[in-house]
Structure 1
Amino acid sequence: MTDQTIAGALVLGVLEGLTEFIPVSSTGHILLAGHFLGFKSTGKAFEVLIQLGAILAILSIYAVRLWKMLIDLPRDRDTQRFVLGILLAFLPAAIIGVLAYKVIKTVLFETPLLICVMLILGGFVLLWVDRWASKPRYTDVTKFSLPMYFTIGLIQCLSMIPGTSRSGATIVGGLLLGADKRSAAEFSFFLAMPTMTGAFAYDLYKNFDILSTADIEIIAIGFVAAFVAALLVVRWLLGYVSQHGYALFGWWRLIVGIAGLAALFVWG
C-alpha cells in the first residue's frame, strides 16, 4: 500500500462524505476523481463500500429519532405507515440493483464521459425544479402518500447511472410530487439508509472472494474519511436548503461536468 494510494483513498473518502447527501452525485465525483488520480480498486468495490461510512454518519445523527420509531413501531399507526413508505420506496432499487448489477459495475462505472454528461443534465434539471417548484403540499416527511413514497423510489432508480445522484433523484422526485425543499431532502436521508446499506451488503457479497487485505485497509481509510465528512454535511444541509434551495448544487454540477468533459478531451 503506497503513500499515493493512501492519499487517494483519503481524498476519495472525504469527497464521498461531502457529496453523498447533496444532489451532485457522490459516485460520479469519486469515479471522475479516481479516473484522473489513477486510483484503481478491485471490482470497483471501494467506491461502493465506503458509502457505509456516510450511512453510519446519518444513523448517528438520527439515532434518537430512529430509536423512538423503533419503540413506537408496534403500536403507532403513523410510524408503521412511514416505515412502510420507506420500504415501498426502497423496493424498486433493490430489485433493479440486483438485476442490473453487472452492467452498472462493468459498463456504467467505467464510462467517465457518461458521468460528465449526466452531471450536466442533472444540473439543468435541478436548476429548473428549484425555480419551478410550486407551493408545497407536504412539509412533513412522515405524511407523504404511499403512492408518493413508491414513485420517489422509482425515480431513485435513475441514480444507478453514475452522475445522476441518488439524493438528487429522490429530492427532485419529492419536489415534483409536492414536498417542500426541507422534507424532500429529509426523505432522501431516510431512503438512503436501506438503499445504501443494501448496496454495501450486496457489493461486499459479490466481491468478498477477490478482496485482499490491502483492499480492506484502503476501504477502511476511505470509510473513516467519508464518515467524518458526512457528519459535517448532514448537520448543515437541511438548514441550508430550507433557506436557499438547490440552485448552488445545480451550478456545481454544471461546473464539474463541463470541467470533466474538458479534462477528458485534453488528457483522456
Structure 2
Amino acid sequence: MDILLLAKALLLGLVEGMTEFLPISSTGHLIVIGDLINFQNDGKVFEVVIQLGAILAIVWEYRARFLRVACGLGRDRLANRFVLNLFIAFLPAAIMGMLFIKPIKAHFFNAISVATALIVGGLIILWVERRDNHVRVRTVDEMRPLDALKVGLAQVLALIPGTSRSGSTIIGGIAFGLSRQAATEFSFFLAVPVMFAATFYDIYKHYELFSSANVAVIGVGFVAAFFSAFVAVRGLIRFVSGHNYVPFAWYRIAFGLFILLSWQFGWIDWVVQ
C-alpha cells in the first residue's frame, strides 16, 4: 500500500471538507494543492467521492430540519416553500452547467484562473461587506421565491473555479437583503441538491473509472472530507453570529496573489491549460 498516496488523499479530503462551505472555493483549493503535491490518483473519481463526503456532513448536521421538511411536504406551508425555494435556486446553475461545463473545464480548471477568480471574489466580498446592506430577510423561512432566484443566479458565477459556490451564494444573499445567518444557512441547504446532482451526474458519466484498486485512497479522502466539513460548518455558523466575511476576503486575495507571483517568478511550476 502506498502510504504517501494515502497521505495525499487524507490532505485533499481535509481540504475539500474545510473549504467546501467556506467562501474560499473548494474546487480552486483542490486544483492548486493537487498541483503542489502532484496527486496522481484518478482525480475525477476521487473528487466526486470526497465531495459526496462533504455533502453528507451537511445532511447529518441538519438532519432534523430535512426530516421535518420531508414529513411536512404537502401539508406544511413553510416546508413547501422551503423546497420550492431550493428548487428555484438550484435551476440557474444546473441549466448553465449543462450548457457550458465542458468549455469551462477546458479553459478555467488551472491554478492561474483560480488565482484570478480568488482575487476578484475577494474584492467583491470586501465591497459587499463594507456597503450599507439593508436586511429584509432574517431567517431562511422568511425567504420568498424571488429571493431564492436571486441567490440561484449568483450561484451561476461559481461555475468558474476559484469563485466559490458558497461564496457566491452567501455574499449574493447578503447583497440581496438576506442576513448573514440566513444567507449562510440557505447556502448550506442549497449545497445538498446542487452537489448531489453534480456528484451523481459525474458518477454516471465516469462509473467505469471506479475500481477496487482505488478503494483505500477514496475511502480515506471520503472520511476526511466528511469530518472536516462537519467541523467547518459548525465553526462557520458560530463565526458569522458575531463577525463578517472580510477575513475570508483578505485570505482569498493573499492566496490568489501568492499563486500569481509564484507563477510569474517561476517559484512553482503551475499547470496552465
Bin for the TM-score computed over the shorter chain:
over 0.9
The 3-state SS of whatever aligns with 2:241 is: helix
2:203 is the alignment partner of 1:204: yes
Could you tell me which runs of 5 or more consecutive residues in structure 1 were left unpaired when the two chains were aligned.
none
The 3-state SS of whatever aligns with 1:232 is: helix
Could you tell me which runs of 5 or more consecutive residues in structure 2 were left unpaired when the two chains were aligned.
none
The answer to whether the 8 A contact 1:50-1:222 is kept is yes
- Distance in 2, matches of 1:50 and 1:154, equals 26
Deviation at 1:34, TM superposition (A): 0.3
The 3-state SS of whatever aligns with 2:147 is: helix
Once the two structures are superposed, the pairs formed by residues 96-175 of structure 1 within 5 Å of their partners are 96-109=96-109, 111-175=110-174
The answer to whether the 8 A contact 1:31-1:47 is kept is no
Deviation at 1:127, TM superposition (A): 1.4
Identity %: 45
The 3-state SS of whatever aligns with 1:249 is: helix
Deviation at 1:133, TM superposition (A): 4.3
Deviation at 1:216, TM superposition (A): 4.1
- Distance in 2, matches of 1:260 and 1:47, equals 22
- Distance in 2, matches of 1:163 and 1:120, equals 9
Give the RMSD, CA atoms, in angstroms: 1.5
Normalising by structure 2, we get a TM-score of 0.93
Partner residue in 2 for 1:39: 39
Deviation at 1:143, TM superposition (A): 1.5
Once the two structures are superposed, the pairs formed by residues 159-198 of structure 1 within 5 Å of their partners are 159-198=158-197
Moved more, 90-99 or 122-131: 90-99
- Distance in 2, matches of 1:242 and 1:251, equals 19
The answer to whether the 8 A contact 2:93-2:152 is kept is yes
2:268 is the alignment partner of 1:267: yes
Return closer, same or farther for 1:203/1:174 CA change in 2, 3 Å cut-off.
Answer: same
The 3-state SS of whatever aligns with 2:74 is: coil
Q: Which amino acid aligns with 1:2?
A: D
The answer to whether the 8 A contact 1:44-1:105 is kept is no
The answer to whether the 8 A contact 2:18-2:232 is kept is yes
Q: Which amino acid aligns with 1:234?
A: V
Once the two structures are superposed, the pairs formed by residues 36-115 of structure 1 within 5 Å of their partners are 36-42=36-42, 44-109=44-109, 111-115=110-114
* Deviation string, structure 1 residues 30-50 (Cα, Å, up to 9, x no partner): 110001111134363322331
Partner residue in 2 for 1:250: 249
The 3-state SS of whatever aligns with 1:244 is: coil
Return closer, same or farther for 1:113/1:251 CA change in 2, 3 Å cut-off.
Answer: same
Q: Which amino acid aligns with 1:209?
A: E
User: How many pairs are equivalent?
Assistant: 267
- Distance in 1, matches of 2:42 and 2:101, equals 15
Moved more, 192-201 or 124-133: 124-133
* Deviation string, structure 1 residues 30-85 (Cα, Å, up to 9, x no partner): 11000111113436332233111111111111011111111111201221011101
- Distance in 2, matches of 1:214 and 1:157, equals 36
The answer to whether the 8 A contact 1:82-1:143 is kept is no
Normalising by structure 1, we get a TM-score of 0.94
- Distance in 1, matches of 2:195 and 2:159, equals 12
The answer to whether the 8 A contact 1:74-1:80 is kept is yes
Q: Which amino acid aligns with 1:256?
A: F
The answer to whether the 8 A contact 1:14-1:222 is kept is yes
Return closer, same or farther for 1:217/1:209 CA change in 2, 3 Å cut-off.
Answer: same
The 3-state SS of whatever aligns with 1:214 is: helix
The answer to whether the 8 A contact 2:12-2:30 is kept is yes
The answer to whether the 8 A contact 2:45-2:209 is kept is no
Q: Which amino acid aligns with 2:36?
A: F
Moved more, 121-130 or 45-54: 45-54
Return closer, same or farther for 1:212/1:23 CA change in 2, 3 Å cut-off.
Answer: same
The 3-state SS of whatever aligns with 2:75 is: coil
Deviation at 1:234, TM superposition (A): 0.9
Deviation at 1:264, TM superposition (A): 2.5
